Structure 1
């Protein structure tokens, strides 16, 4: 391995930043196109939910497996294969003439993204010195934030001036241009690259069952056989996943991480935040178009006070985390988001002036940016050094699970208390969904009060047994 060789550093930076921007955009790029897709493909609310969730669900489930495959088979090789999958799935999504085909394509897209995103970090780490990694990862995070912020705007402008299919077609030439760049990137491997196929199957089937039940509940009835089978069967499979992880030789999620109160409560916060926020975004872009009458581009631009604020808040929050610890900032971020989303829920009406949304949108976006950096620091800080990478991956996966559940629950509430029959019915459902989301975020903020004040549980080798055990530092 040429650890000090600078060969391919510039090409690695180019490949990483372009790829992570492309993957980040696809997280929210489809949101402003949903009303047009609903009309064009004759989709119902369930179809729109799956259009978002299919991508996020496969992304979340295979995130840890993607990183492990790269360590085992070569990061550049797996990155390239995942990029080919992402390009092909994007083309399939663009060619879709039915909701089912689009959902399938989005699921395959998420599979490719699940390997691309974590490998961008490990490829970057392989060519950057430890002293420069903080700066490098800061640029990586800024690119992720930029992609998420611009996703609704780019999706809205493409949908309005071309067609919704082009939000997927645009990935094809970008991806194809990246493939020869990858040939100049130095190959690297790391760790054992252990896989957990049984755990992957159990958690995938379990989460699919739960999401299926939530999405189908309103249409088929909450007591119907298929819905109950999905919810109960999915829950049983998730429990089976936890049981398997407790005894697996190479677990996807080492449950020992959760023996630390700080890590466990941090993961609760990591789950609740996207549950409340991304379900709200899912409804907001449709509210702006379906109810308030804005075009896709106008709706995308009007979400910027929300989606762009993390670009301002996250760097400040990151610096403050080093000074005062992560707990107060995670608490503050959740409270700001609870207030912002609850505010929208209290004022929403069919003829609401957009100006009344600006302040709560800004507040929610600032809260999101305040939350992201410290929750990542807490996740790593409460993990032993040998599990830092796994802890970061678990945190990211749990946030993706929260997004899936948030969109599913928001859709279920909209279907139960409102719908698309009129602006008033949509608003009625949105109000209930937003108040539920705000309540969940407030509960999450209260949970964070139980997190220890400083996340610095580094093992201190004051005593070492023959098995190599250490006595860990006390956690305050």
Structure 2
């Protein structure tokens, strides 16, 4: 492997000075919050946007799909680029692009204009998510890394969960363009803070593989499209073509980058048992979360007859408890094995989802709330230790690639979970939400078992 070329202002492995550390961490978390919220925030407003722009509701789904596809397709190439030019430059560029694209979204006058702006916004969000964990690894000293990833896990978990609620609150007081306009002042504030607080993290000596980036983008885009078509019972020929194309592009990418010192799809890191088990745990756990957060609104509104406002409040205990547990779990992960903490948390999540699936026919608010709180406690207790395990099991010179795997595993898990909800509805009709929650519990149980397997694995140092 080429010797990393480090710039003079690379922070030592004891992290940044405390004052600068706090400012840098706030800047990173602000960007992560923007990217995570916008993953789900537009869903709630789709009917309103479609009516205002005079387009078919079915066509408006591309407002969501364009953003998600842009994120999934560019995550790993941008993470690889971060190792070459430095994570700070990628993060600052992502903030600039995301903020400008948000302004264009707010000013969009047609569906094609809005979709194009959402693609650019997705690329900006991808840059923020691709390098955020790598930056945190340099912001915090090694002995306190769990605290940093705990705060990140808190922001990601809460952002994903409360996105629809935030959208509903904005739409009560303002028209839909404000869903995107509110990002502009926040993005500018984050940019000003990041510019002064973040320092260079070093650069590797290898070059960027443009052809590999194209293969990666096509492979992941086709995979996500195939999962979506399969869930919605699309034409069999198209589903097979999308999966076949994803497999072909992925195979070509792996062959092209075989022997590369820092491959875009970090297959070399997956040879490390702790890294591979942690990545698999992440995919399964976020699939469980996706199954829950897509199916629960249908359960509350259609099966239990709750209003949209009531549904928002009933969803609240999960992210609130995540917010309470994630920082605590992050601190504990600096002292106890992530395999143990993650396994316990995921077992609790599996229990909570099983209890939700077995709700009585006419549950009280308390019946729902304490079950949601159990799920939040389990998920919050798992996430930070798992992030710490992924990052510490990769060499420091591969922080960008490891950070890209973190974000990709999360998005693939959530996408798979959402696709499986549609399949559950097709199979079980009115019992679809309960089936989806039970399946989510099974995913969490599998993830718990995989997490405990990490206790038998030693960290592979470089």
The TM tier, using the shorter chain, reads 0.7 to 0.9
1:265 to 277, 285, 290: 277
Give 2:378's aligned residue.
Answer: 367
1:229 paired to 2:232: no
1:410 to 406, 410, 421: 421
Aligned CA distance change for structure 1 residues 97 and 363 (closer, same or farther; 3 Å): farther
1:340 to 347, 352, 356: 352
Whole-Å Cα distance in 2 between the matches of residues 98 and 191 of structure 1? 41
Gaps of 5+ in 1: 419-424, 460-476
Contact 2:345–2:380 under 8 Å retained in 1: yes
1:379 paired to 2:361: no
Whole-Å Cα distance in 2 between the matches of residues 417 and 441 of structure 1? 21
Q: CA deviation at 1:231?
A: 2.2
Aligned CA distance change for structure 1 residues 290 and 95 (closer, same or farther; 3 Å): farther
Deviation per CA, 1:42-98, whole angstroms, max 9, x where unpaired?
535x965x6555434433443343344345446555434322321243344445688
Listed as ranges, the matches of 1:250-329 within 5 Å are 250-289=262-301, 292=304, 294=306, 296-329=308-341
Aligned CA distance change for structure 1 residues 103 and 361 (closer, same or farther; 3 Å): farther
Give 2:432's aligned residue.
Answer: 429
Whole-Å Cα distance in 2 between the matches of residues 221 and 182 of structure 1? 44
Aligned CA distance change for structure 1 residues 172 and 319 (closer, same or farther; 3 Å): closer
Give 1:79's aligned residue.
Answer: 91
Listed as ranges, the matches of 1:442-453 within 5 Å are 442-453=445-456
Aligned CA distance change for structure 1 residues 206 and 344 (closer, same or farther; 3 Å): same
Secondary structure, aligned partner of 1:451: helix
Whole-Å Cα distance in 1 between the matches of residues 376 and 139 of structure 2? 33
Whole-Å Cα distance in 1 between the matches of residues 331 and 199 of structure 2? 33
Q: What CA RMSD, in Å, does the superposition of the two structures yield over aligned residues?
A: 3.8
1:217 paired to 2:230: yes
Deviation per CA, 1:256-303, whole angstroms, max 9, x where unpaired?
222233322222111111112123212323544555555555433321
Secondary structure, aligned partner of 1:43: coil
1:243 paired to 2:255: yes
Listed as ranges, the matches of 1:188-199 within 5 Å are 188=200, 190-192=202-204, 194-199=207-212
Of structures 1 and 2, the one with the larger relative CO (CA 8 A, separation 6+) is 2
Aligned CA distance change for structure 1 residues 313 and 184 (closer, same or farther; 3 Å): closer
1:43 paired to 2:57: yes
Contact 1:154–1:300 under 8 Å retained in 2: no
Q: CA deviation at 1:310?
A: 1.6
Secondary structure, aligned partner of 1:450: helix
Whole-Å Cα distance in 2 between the matches of residues 208 and 240 of structure 1? 15
Listed as ranges, the matches of 1:173-192 within 5 Å are 173-179=185-191, 184=196, 188=200, 190-192=202-204
Whole-Å Cα distance in 1 between the matches of residues 278 and 381 of structure 2? 15
Give 1:457's aligned residue.
Answer: 460
Contact 2:145–2:388 under 8 Å retained in 1: no
Whole-Å Cα distance in 1 between the matches of residues 146 and 105 of structure 2? 36
- TM-score in terms of structure 2 length: 0.80
Q: CA deviation at 1:138?
A: 5.0
Aligned CA distance change for structure 1 residues 390 and 335 (closer, same or farther; 3 Å): same
Q: CA deviation at 1:171?
A: 0.9
Aligned CA distance change for structure 1 residues 189 and 208 (closer, same or farther; 3 Å): same
- TM-score in terms of structure 1 length: 0.78
Higher mean C-alpha displacement, 240-249 vs 117-126: 117-126
1:440 paired to 2:443: yes
1:358 paired to 2:369: yes
Secondary structure, aligned partner of 1:253: coil
Paired residues, what number?
447
